Chains A and B, each alone.
Chain A
Amino acid sequence: GAVVSQHPSRVICKSGTSVKIECRSLDFQATTMFWYRQFPKQSLMLMATSNEGSKATYEQGVEKDKFLINHASLTLSTLTVTSAHPEDSSFYICSARDQTRGNEQFFGPGTRLTVL
């Protein structure tokens, strides 16, 4: 149980284009989902927290107009990187909280974004 999927697992795009990443909780309902970014050999950096049906809460320094987050249902959250640039290249990981299990976050497999 507590499986989270992400799609795509890997994406390469040209500078200036937008990329959408999907995060799904497959066997539970996630009222809260989190989006992280991870640079090589570094720990996770929280970008934003999203609650189903409401606007996401972004961490300081994260541009909400650049990283659009939508949590339209209890099993799906999306992160859209708008007008991507090479500095946006990173490993993006989502997690979801199953409120029936406690406070644990369960993570997706991650999405490797490369912007040329």
Chain B
Amino acid sequence: EDQVTQSPEALRLQEGESSSLNCSYTVSGLRGLFWYRQDPGKGPEFLFTLYSAGEEKEKERLKATLTKKESFLHITAPKPEDSATYLCAVQAGSNYQLIWGAGTKLIIKP
């Protein structure tokens, strides 16, 4: 069964303290792995798409990497405005539906 697991459920960091969020997946035929950011009461905001193992993408303080079993979202020197829930999703079928992880709630304390 296709599955996406994110860890940790919640992460509290001090401002400037770098860390990583994990997204592990078991799917047959990965067609893409997606990272989103969601603020309370809002829709998810697209961050990255990764298609193949070894691929990396960066945006400001965020860097996403992909292996054959998992993806990491590295956050470097985070700021309080980086506080949000980060969602990981994978596409495995041909109908463009996504399989979602439960998310990691990231809190950056000033």
Shortest Cβ gap from A3 to chain B (Å)? 11
- Those of B40-55 within 8 Å (CB) of chain A: 41-46, 49
Question: Which of B32, B36, B42, B102 lies in contact with A109, CB distance below 8 A?
Answer: B42
Cross-chain contact A108 with B46 (CB below 8 angstroms) = no
- Those of B4-38 within 8 Å (CB) of chain A: 31-32, 34, 36
Question: Which of B41, B46, B103 lies in contact with A104, CB distance below 8 A?
Answer: B46
Cross-chain contact A105 with B96 (CB below 8 angstroms) = yes
Cross-chain contact B91 with A103 (CB below 8 angstroms) = yes
Shortest Cβ gap from A35 to chain B (Å)? 12
A43-B87, A103-B49 known; A109+B43 contact, CB < 8 A: yes
Which residues of B line the A interface, CB within 8 A?
A: 31-32, 34, 36, 41-46, 49, 87, 91, 95-98, 100-103
Question: 6 A-B residue contacts at CB 8 Å?
Answer: A6-B43, A43-B101, A93-B44, A103-B91, A105-B98, A107-B45
The 6 nearest A-B residue pairs measured at CB: A107-B43, A103-B32, A110-B43, A107-B44, A43-B100, A93-B43
